[in-house]
Every structure is written in C-alpha cells, then in structure tokens.
Amino acid sequence: MRADISPRAKVGLYGLMCVLLIPFVFPTWWMVTSSIKPISDIFAFPPQLVPQNYDWTTYSKVFELQPFVRQYWNSAYIAAVVTVGTMIISSMAGYAFARIRFPYANAVFMIVLLGLLIPSEVTIVPLFQMFLKAGMVNTHWPLILVPIFGAPSVFATFVMRQFFVTLPAELEEAARVDGLGRFKIFTKIALPLAKPALASVAIFTFLHSWNLFLEPIVFLSSADMFTLPQALTQYTDAYGGPMWNIQLAAATLTALPVLIVFIIAQKQFVEGLAHTGLKG
C-alpha cells in the first residue's frame, strides 16, 4: 500500500500547485481589476494587482455604447440551441456507429472523423456562398446549423461512440428479450446511462458556441445580430483604437457564464471524460 504523504510533503505539493496556478489565475485577475481602472493605469509597470483608482462607469458604458443585452441574449440562445441540437445528433450518430452493424461501418466512421482535420477557415467561403444563396446571411442560422452538423458535432459523435462501445452488450440483449425495439433500447437503456458523456458533450459544445468568433464576423453585419465575441471588438474610440477598460469590462461580463458553467459542472466534466473510454 502507498505510504501516507508527510505533512511537509503536503505543504510542498500545495506550494507547487499554487505556483503553477499563477499563469492561469493572473490573466483573469488582471482582466477583472483592469475593467475598473482608468486607461492610464491599465498598462502601468509593474502591473497593479489592486487598483489604486476605481472607475465603475466602465460597466454602464458597456451597455450604453452597444446593445449589449441583446448581444448577450444572442449568444445565450444560440449556445443553448446548438448544445441541445449537438447532443441529439451526436448521441444518435454515436449509438449507431457503436451498436448498429452495417457494411463498412468503421470506414464510414473514419471518414466522418476526417472532418476534424479540416480547418474552418477552409470551408468558410463556400459556406458563405451557400448561406448567401439561401438568404441566411446576417441571420443566426449559420451559427446554429454549422456547429450542429460540422466539426463540433463530429467530435461529440466520437465521444458518444466511445462511451456506447463500453456498454455491456448484455443490456441490449435483455432489453430485446423484453420486447424493446432499437429506438426504445436507445432512449430507455443507452441514453440514460450516457449522462456523463452527454455532460461532457454539453460543456464542450456550449463553450465552443459561446466563444465562436470567425463565423459571426463573416455572417453577421448588424449590431443587433452580433454575438458577444464579435461585440467585444466594437468598443473603440473615435480613432478606431480600443477602449481597453470598457472592453475588459465587457469581457468580464462575457466570461461569467463560462466560469459559472464550468464551476458547477466540473465534476460531471471530469467524469464524462473518464467514462467516454477513449480506448476504443
């Protein structure tokens, strides 16, 4: 059995962890504190860990200069729709690849995985032309459809497939004896057991959609339709320079949902990664 760690070793371990934590915590702390500093204090050297002067008006200006509430709603509902849609598509596709035997199943799955190797920058022009002809430019449809049926959904399908592969086949055999069909087995047996994997898919998908930047700047042109990553670039002065304190205040408000979601769901996130197998 492993010997208990001595108190001195524990102190050293926690000290090392605190040192390693600095590169991750400092940028967030700097963002939050700089959001209430005057611009002249933001780039002071050495950096001011605690603001000497406070300017709380930056947060009110966030809402005055842009329709920030509308843009917040745009990001929230798009991320929610994309997350739900991806969970539905990826769970069904992952189950099909894991449990339904059809010709060339593994070959088809490998072809699907190739979608992860194609950068979004390569497909953005043909996608723009396609949505332009469909009259969907400057709408949120591209930001919903592309992630659900694109690379994020491919990764989610991979995660779900890996989880369903690990389920004992005896569960399905017992369900068939009880008279359940394929769809009932999926909804009543496999899907309830896949909650850890679904939690991981939901977190990955939500974060990806919330932080999406390239597609919004290509497909959206009016401020009322902007999502938050695109809206952050609009806080500029009369000369086109960034209004740093206001941008950082908007960035702080933008980061809050991500931090809250991760703090609440971090246990499910870790469990989901562990239960997906990632071992074939």
63 phi, psi to nearest 5 deg: -85, -20
In this prediction the pTM is: 0.84
- What does the pLDDT read at residue 111? 87
Of the chain, the percentage scoring pLDDT greater than 70 comes to: 93
Reduced to 3 states (helix: H, G, I; strand: E, B; else coil), residue 44 is coil
3-class secondary structure, 242: strand
Task: Say yes or no to pLDDT of 1 above 60.
Answer: no
Average pLDDT (11-33) is 85
Distances (CA, A) of 77 to 26, 144, 265: 30, 10, 19
Check pLDDT > 80 for residue 107. yes
Domains of the chain, earliest start first: 63-275 (1.10.3720.10)
In which band, very low, low, confident or very high, does the pLDDT at 142 lie, cut at 50, 70 and 90? Answer: very high
CA 143 → CA 92, 135, 221, distances in Å?
22, 14, 13
Is 219's pLDDT higher than 70? yes
* Section 174-192 average pLDDT: 86
Q: Looking at the predicted structure, is the pLDDT value of residue 279 above 60?
A: no
pLDDT at 278: 44
The mean pLDDT value for 51-68 works out to 88
pLDDT the model gives residue 89? 93
- Tens of pLDDT, residue by residue over 236-257, are 887 777 888 899 999 999 988 8
Q: Give every CB contact of residue 223 below 8 A, 6+ residues apart in sequence.
A: 66, 67, 71, 231, 234
128: pLDDT strictly greater than 90: yes
- Looking at every residue in the chain, the average pLDDT score rounds to 85
Residues paired with residue 236 on neighbouring β-strands, in sequence order? 242
CA distances from 172 to 21, 185, 197 (A): 45, 7, 19
Instruction: Tell me the pLDDT band of 4, cut-offs 50, 70 and 90.
Output: low
Residue 273's pLDDT band, with cuts at 50, 70 and 90, is: low
Average pLDDT over residues 22-31: 84
